[in-house]
Amino acid sequence: MEEHGEHGGLVGGMTTEYTVVLRREGRSDTLSVKAEDALIAALKAKSQYPDAMITYVRKRNQRGDKRHPHHGL
């Protein structure tokens, strides 16, 4: 049986790696972030770089991101 938290989410949810693309200082930057979902990944990136504009967030692509690695958060 699954254990649910106070707001209905699963307790101890699995983390996934997400690629967060943001724009700061006129340049595009890509980060790899471990999070429970895409929104949390975006918020982690935004808290690290408050002046940045989040362009998009997607699940990490194992093969493609291995060829072109991104720095982590």
pLDDT digits (tens, 9 = 90+) for 27-63: 999 998 999 999 999 999 999 999 999 999 998 877 6
Average pLDDT for 6-17: 66
pLDDT of residue 4: 47
User: In the predicted model, is pLDDT for residue 18 greater than 60?
Assistant: yes
Q: Would you say the pTM of this structure is higher than 0.75?
A: no
Residue 2 is predicted with a pLDDT of: 43
Contact in structure between 32 and 61 (CB atoms under 8 Å)? no
